Structure 1
């Protein structure tokens, strides 16, 4: 049965200005130039102020929190429209792309050599062999089926089916096996293996087989690989009849092997760029915070578009085309103003947030000692700057600060509190630092178990459970005691 009802609802609706600000706030410095270039290309009413004389006074923009609703009375726009329409109209781009550089002549790019990819190198080696057409197709199929780490994880019968369906070539499994052995002779050693054991054996067989250490290392990989990975060295010593020094040489020989032979070629030429958003300098015990200059571009609204809009406003608008022209120019002018406003708000929000973090962790930024880091959560900073927690999170998750002792992600300065026996609250980073030092200084022949680490922390006044110690150890990518054992 259909019926009509009246309902009252309270909804929080993001304005287009908020959406643009939120998107820009998340963009790191390394991608900001690209985002600005995209906007300059799409909006002719927006100009790069650094390329023209700017005699106009610069407006002061108050701090605005994108996670709080804008005051509708402050809006200078006559028309309202939905967020969905706004997103469809402006077609927001993904801001997580690679940094494409800029036109700054003073900035020097690191040259990257053009290299063949991992698969191209294998193909080049295949081309040098005198093969029949059939074997060449099999070789190509095998190379194309390798993973990025150099392993062949596709079963041989599946390769036979692939050749019959895609290449119309009917082969036997034995022919594929024979061709796989040929490819396993290619460089880098270990290519074409179907598991870790085969990968290590391929590399060992290319070494000097007259060397007794190589022979014993081959035997360990063939017969005692599980004991080796679990570091049950005493069992291996008994089975091989060797002493600790001899076993140490054998293990070192195995550790020299590459478990992922395809990695070196697969990631060749890739470089990670970390451009700090902030710089903190120490001037005789006084910290000085600066924002990366790329976060403050000189942008302006085009004077020609403003004059064009003023001209259209004075002209009779009875003509439909004239109305459309006025609407188009107004839309572009409004969009340019929104973008400039969002950029300026971004600068102020970044500085305000980072300054609050610096003041909160002042002693740490003076010394660089993790042990003096105070417990700090997002709410602590949000309360200080009177903004929403999500705003602080957007800044902390994507921005870096350069200090005199390294470049760090802002997120790394946030940590939970742990209470000591004396009742003092300290950062869990302090506990992690102590754990790291204990493990670094332990006797590797008898590494410290989690129970022993828990006792050490309790002696230092940190009463935490063994499972918490294990959680911190895993968070620092430190294996269990048994796997840290060395001869």
Structure 2
């Protein structure tokens, strides 16, 4: 008797928690991350791409420091001047041309360059100063390199992630995570490594290196082949620890060099630049960055601290009245619409929605920056009064996130890319953040305050008899900073100060 086969179908339910991010949230996070000069560029690009997004032509810089962007202003009043009227006519022409081209891709539609924005030359003078920035010079080289669209996105993010020395200290894993979270890009670490290798071919040599050792090796590799180049590569590649500690006796013994050869090798290695980004700044003719502060903080003599957002030449944005009127007309006459009119309605709705979404994202950026700066000033009020680095209290991202009610990643994006102009100088926002050191008695001290005291002690020491880490620990204890010797060593290294033997 044949035994029949039984097929069984089973359904299983599994509960999974998925975190998704909307396009609007993504846009908001992107705008929050941008410093002022890049934010202006993004507004300009958005206006070029979307004829439904307009800028008012009147001067509004004073208003922008304290108020949100307007979204519904009507520019058709009886007192409208000739320039505004001409702009409306040009907008209408652009709209007519766009609607007549329905069916083509958006990229092929004509775009309108609004007259309400400053020209490139004016923006260069207002925002950047009289030279291109470190970032711009690398972007120029990027434009001269054959890259796919995907590679170009990665490259732009890598350039923006370089530190002041021109090094890329973020890991490929971290960059991949940030591209996924903030830009919605699924990029593998292998792709990031390949684009990083391309960046490392840019000038000056050493740019984009992930470590000091790699930075020096990249510079050596640009040299013509010679015995000297081989020796330099061997020292940095195999004896880097000895090189950093200036143990030339060990290096010369390992490479079997005499005193004259060792001196020549050391002299040539000293010509390598550990900070290629700074070198680029000198080549351009200015410091590494032409910094445009995002916040202007004012401290009165009575200790009152106020601030404004630097509006630069940010325009006041609103939805084009032409598009708004046409959308209402289409919606009021839906019955009996032709196919072409339906396509025109969809196109108009899409552009109006995109304009409204962008305006809302700009408002959210304004609110986020205001909340963040207000919380920082409240936390670090004493510093803004006195300008003393030692007055900075321990403050981490989580502290400001809790005070503002904003997400931790949002505070991180704001603090990593913004500058504040104060009575005491212009500082990156991350300058105001520091960890705390808790003593055995439970007292919390600012690591910034301890480092400042450590730097002062070392600067005042006898250069012929520099203090050991144990001696530095004792001096700090006398000043009221009861920290361990290993903590002294860690802070000294973070300050870039060598050990006692190398400070002679």
Task: Please point out which of 264, 289, 301 is paired with 1:272.
Answer: 289
**1:313 match:** 331
Aligned-pair CA distance for 1:231: 8.3
Aligned-pair CA distance for 1:338: 0.7
- CA–CA distance in structure 1, aligned partners of residues 127 and 401 of structure 2: 38
- CA–CA distance in structure 1, aligned partners of residues 403 and 243 of structure 2: 54
Kindly indicate whether residue 401 of structure 2 is the aligned counterpart of residue 387 of structure 1. no
Question: CA offsets, 1:188-230, max 9 Å, x none?
Answer: xxxx95555999xxxxxxxxxxxxxxxxxxxxxxxxx979934
Aligned-pair CA distance for 1:153: 3.4
Kindly indicate whether residue 442 of structure 2 is the aligned counterpart of residue 434 of structure 1. no
SS at match of 1:294: coil
Task: Please point out which of 342, 345, 349 is paired with 1:330.
Answer: 349
**1:36 match:** 43
- CA–CA distance in structure 2, aligned partners of residues 451 and 105 of structure 1: 52
**1:164 match:** none
Alignment of 1:416-435 (within 5 A): 416-420=435-439, 423-435=442-454
Kindly indicate whether residue 420 of structure 2 is the aligned counterpart of residue 401 of structure 1. yes
Contact 1:370–1:430 (8 Å) recurs in 2: yes
Contact 2:295–2:309 (8 Å) recurs in 1: yes
What are the ranges of 5 or more consecutive residues in structure 2 without an aligned counterpart?
A: 1-7, 61-66, 72-105, 108-118, 138-200, 207-217, 236-241, 250-257
Aligned-pair CA distance for 1:427: 0.7
- CA–CA distance in structure 2, aligned partners of residues 399 and 303 of structure 1: 34
What are the ranges of 5 or more consecutive residues in structure 1 without an aligned counterpart?
A: 62-88, 91-99, 118-143, 160-176, 181-191, 200-224, 233-238, 241-249
Task: Please point out which of 311, 316, 332 is paired with 1:298.
Answer: 316
- Higher CA-based Rg: 1
Contact 1:278–1:289 (8 Å) recurs in 2: yes
**1:484 match:** 503
Contact 1:317–1:323 (8 Å) recurs in 2: no
**2:396 match:** 377
Kindly indicate whether residue 221 of structure 2 is the aligned counterpart of residue 153 of structure 1. yes
**1:49 match:** 56
Alignment of 1:9-28 (within 5 A): 9-28=16-35
**2:271 match:** 258
SS at match of 2:340: helix
Distance 1:2 1:456, change over 3 A: farther
Aligned-pair CA distance for 1:258: 3.5
Distance 1:102 1:286, change over 3 A: farther
Question: CA offsets, 1:227-258, max 9 Å, x none?
Answer: 993488xxxxxx99xxxxxxxxx99x969973
- CA–CA distance in structure 1, aligned partners of residues 275 and 498 of structure 2: 25
Bigger Cα displacement from structure 2, 333-342 vs 294-303: 294-303
SS at match of 1:289: strand
> What TM-score, normalized by structure 1, do the two folds share?
0.60
Aligned-pair CA distance for 1:21: 0.7
Aligned-pair CA distance for 1:314: 2.8
- CA–CA distance in structure 2, aligned partners of residues 347 and 287 of structure 1: 19
Aligned-pair CA distance for 1:38: 0.8
- CA–CA distance in structure 1, aligned partners of residues 329 and 433 of structure 2: 54
Contact 2:232–2:269 (8 Å) recurs in 1: no
SS at match of 2:498: coil
Aligned-pair CA distance for 1:385: 1.6
Pairwise CA RMSD of aligned residues? Answer: 4.3
Distance 1:226 1:433, change over 3 A: closer
Aligned-pair CA distance for 1:147: 8.5
